[in-house]
Structure 1
Amino acid sequence: MNTLSFSRYRAEWFTSFTGARRDVLAGMVGTFALIPEVIAFSFVAGIDPQVGLFASFVIGIVIAFAGGRPAMISGAAGSVALVAAALVHAHGLQYLLAATLLAGVLQIVFGLLKLDVLMRFVSRSVRTGFVNALAILIFSAQVPQMLGVSWHTYAMIALGLAIIYLVPRVTTAIPSPLICIVVLTAISIAFPMPVHVVADLGKLPASLPTFALPNLPFTWDTLTIIAPYAVAMAAVGLLESMMTATVVDDLTETKSDKARESTGLGLANFAAGLFGGIAGCGMVGQTVGNVRYGGRGRLSTLAAGVFLLVVMVPLRPWIAQVPVAALVAIMIMVSISTFSWGSLRDLARHPKVSGVVMLATVVVTVLTHDLSMGVVVGVLLSGVFFAFKVTRLMDVAVDYDEASDTRLYDVTGQVFFASADIFADRFDLADTARNARIDLTRAHLWDITAVGALEDVVSKMRRHDIAVEVIGLNAASATLVDRHAPLLREPAL
Structure 2
Amino acid sequence: MLNFFRKRSANLKDDLLSGLTVALALVPEAIAFAFVAGVSPIIGLYSAFFMGLLTAVFGGRPGMISGATGAIAVVIVSLVALHGVEYLFPAVILCGVIQILAGIGKLGQFIRMVPHSVMLGFVNGLAIVIFMAQFGSFNTVNDAGALIPLAGAPLILMFALVGLTMLIIWLLPKLTRAVPASLAAILVVTGLSIAINQAAPASWSAQNQPHALLTVGDMLRTNTTARATTEARQELGPEAPDAAIAAQVAATVEAESGISAGLPKLFFLDGQYDILPPFNLATLWIILPFALTMAGVGLIESLMTLSLIDEITETRGRGNRECVGQGLANIVCGMFGGMGGCAMIGQSLINVNSGGRGRASGITAAVCLLSFVLVLAPWIEMIPMAALVGVMFMVVIGTFEWASLRMFRKVPFSDILVMVVVAGYTVVMHDLASAVILGVIISALVFAWRHATHLGAEVYPDKKGARVYQLHGPLFFASVASFKELFNPREDPEEVVIDFYFTRVYDQSGLEAINTVAEKYRSLGKRLHLTHLSPECRKLLDKAGDLVEVNLSEDPQYHVATDRLG
Same fold (TM over 0.5): yes
Alignment partner, residue 536 of structure 2: 476
Q: Please, which of 412, 416, 422 is the counterpart of residue 482 of structure 2?
A: 422
* Structure 2 CA distance for partners of 1:442 and 1:164, relative to 1, 3 Å: closer
The one-letter code matched in structure 1 to 2:263 is: L
Does structure 1 residue 67 correspond to structure 2 residue 63? Answer: no
Q: Secondary structure, in 3 states, of the residue corresponding to 2:409? A: helix
Question: What residue number does 2:225 align with?
Answer: none
Q: Structure 1: how far apart are the matches of 2:55 and 2:528?
A: 62
Q: Is structure 2 residue 217 aligned with structure 1 residue 199?
A: yes
Give the aligned partner of residue 44 of structure 1: 36
1:334 corresponds to: 395
Give me the whole-angstrom Cα distance separating, in 1, the residues matched to 2:105 and 2:136: 42
* Distance (whole Å) between structure 2 residues aligned to residue 355 and residue 172 of structure 1: 38
Q: CA deviation at 1:62?
A: 1.2
CA distance in 1, matches of 2:531, 2:50: 62
Using the alignment, how far apart are the partners of 1:145 and 1:481 within structure 2?
Answer: 63
> Match of 1:350, SS?
coil
Q: Is the 8 A contact 2:72 2:294 kept in 1?
A: yes
| 8 A contact 1:451–1:485 mirrored in 2 | no
Query: What is the DSSP-based 3-state SS (H/G/I as helix, E as strand, rest coil) of the residue aligned with 1:413?
Result: strand
Whole-angstrom distance in 1 between the partners of 2:332 and 2:409:
47
The Cα shift of 1:354 comes to 2.2
Where do 1:138-177 residues align within 5 Å? 138-146=130-138, 147-149=149-151, 150=154, 151-177=156-182
Please provide the CA RMSD for this pair.
2.0
> What do residues 283-319 of structure 1 show as CA deviations (whole Å, max 9, x unaligned)?
1111011001100110000011011011122110111
Q: Is the 8 A contact 1:71 1:291 kept in 2?
A: yes
Report if aligned partners of 1:398, 1:407 keep a CA contact under 8 Å in 2. yes
User: Is structure 2 residue 445 aligned with structure 1 residue 390?
Assistant: no
Q: 2: distance between equivalents of 1:25 and 1:454?
A: 64
Q: Distance in 2 between matches of 1:410 and 1:189?
A: 79
Picking from 237, 260, 278, the partner of 2:298 is 237
Alignment-derived partner of residue 438 in structure 1: 498
Return the letter of the residue paired with 1:210. K
Q: CA deviation at 1:90?
A: 1.2
Contact 1:482 1:489 in 2 (8 A): no
Q: Which amino acid aligns with 1:461?
A: Y
1:39, 1:348 → 2: CA distance? 43
Alignment equivalent of 2:264, drawn from 193, 196, 209? 209
Q: Distance in 2 between matches of 1:26 and 1:467?
A: 72
Q: CA deviation at 1:121?
A: 0.8
Structure 1 residue 462 corresponds to structure 2 residue 522: yes
Secondary structure (helix, strand or coil) at the match of 1:254 reads coil
Q: What is the distance in 2 between the residues matched to 1:410 and 1:182? A: 72
CA 1:456/1:270 → structure 2, altered by over 3 Å: closer, same or farther? same
- Bigger Cα displacement from structure 2, 173-182 vs 134-143: 173-182
Superposed displacement of residue 334, structure 1: 0.7
Return the letter of the residue paired with 1:408.
V
Q: How does 1:118-129 map to 2 (within 5 A)?
A: 118-129=110-121
Distance 2:443 2:337 in 1: 40
Contact 2:16 2:364 in 1 (8 A): yes
Q: Is the 8 A contact 1:470 1:488 kept in 2?
A: no
Percent of aligned positions that are identical: 39
Q: Would you say 1:317 and 2:309 are equivalent positions?
A: no
Contact residue 99 and residue 327 of structure 2 kept, 8 A? yes
Instruction: Show the counterpart of 1:93.
Output: 85
Q: 1:464: Cα distance to partner? A: 2.6
Q: Does structure 2 retain, via aligned residues, the 8 Å contact 1:416–1:449? A: yes
TM-score under structure 2 normalisation? Answer: 0.80
Asked if 1:349 corresponds to 2:410, the answer is yes
CA distance in 1, matches of 2:22, 2:426: 23
1:83-113 Cα distance to aligned partner (Å, 9 max, x none):
1112111111111111000000111111112
How many angstroms apart in 1 are the aligned matches of 2:213 and 2:185? 16
Change (3 A) 1:208 1:201: farther
CA deviations on 1:248-304 (whole Å, 9 max, x unpaired) are 111111111111111011111111101110110001111011001100110000011
State whether structure 2 residue 39 is matched by structure 1 residue 34.
Answer: no
Structure 1 contact 80–280 (Cα < 8 Å) conserved: yes
| CA distance in 1: counterparts of 2:462 and 2:189, whole angstroms | 87
After superposing the two structures, state which structure 1 stretch, 323-332 or 163-172, moved more.
163-172
* Structure 1 unmatched ranges of 5 or more: 1-14
Give the corresponding residue for 1:10.
Answer: none
- 1:210-359 equivalent positions in 2, closer than 5 A: 210-213=265-268, 215-359=276-420
Total equivalences in the alignment: 476
Counterpart residue identity of residue 261, structure 2: A
Q: Tell me, in whole angstroms, the C-alpha distance in 1 between the residues paired with 2:498 and 2:14.
A: 66
Question: Offset at 1:433?
Answer: 3.9
Kindly indicate whether the alpha-carbon contact (under 8 Å) linking 2:93 and 2:331 is maintained by their aligned counterparts in 1.
Answer: yes
Give me the whole-angstrom Cα distance separating, in 1, the residues matched to 2:508 and 2:383.
62
Q: TM-score, normalised by structure 1?
A: 0.92
Matching residue of 1:185: 190
> Shift in Å at residue 177 of structure 1?
1.7
The separation in 1 between residues aligned to 2:464 and 2:330, in whole angstroms, is 73
Tell me the CA shift for residue 30 of structure 1.
Answer: 1.0
Q: Whole-Å Cα distance in 1 between the matches of residues 552 and 41 of structure 2?
A: 73
